[in-house]
Amino acid sequence: MAFTVELLSRGKGVPAEAQQAMGRLRSRVEADRMRGISVRVVESRIGLEGETRACVVYRNATDGRNAYQQATEMFKGVDLVNLKLERCDRELRQ
């Protein structure tokens, strides 16, 4: 189960609110790891102003769905964030 998060900008860098929400997601993923859940995150820069794309992959589909639902809440109403359910195999091969 995989999803992606893209933090974007409009020429002024990634908004602080988007960065903070991403920090909450990173904390959630780390908490899952500490509980023994198999999860992998690959982040890559996609722009010059801090724009970032993160691929989040959970081995267990139920764990992934739960994380995606929580991410949906974390990023709700946050400007310049794209959250999508999608495979991101390309990032994992790098």
Contact 88, 4 (CB under 8 A): yes
Q: Is 59 exposed, middle or buried (0-12, 13-18, 19+ CB in 10 A)?
A: exposed
Residue 87: which domain range?
2-92
Look up the pTM and report it: 0.90
Given a cut of 90, whether residue 92 has pLDDT beyond it is: no
CATH code, 53: 3.30.70
Half-sphere exposure of 45 (CA within 13 A, CB side): 5
Q: Strands (DSSP E) along the chain, which ranges?
A: 2-7, 39-45, 52-58, 81-85
Per residue in 40-68, pLDDT tens? Answer: 999 999 989 999 999 999 999 999 999 99
Per residue in 65-91, pLDDT tens? Answer: 999 999 999 999 999 999 999 988 666
Question: What is the number of domains present in the chain?
Answer: 1
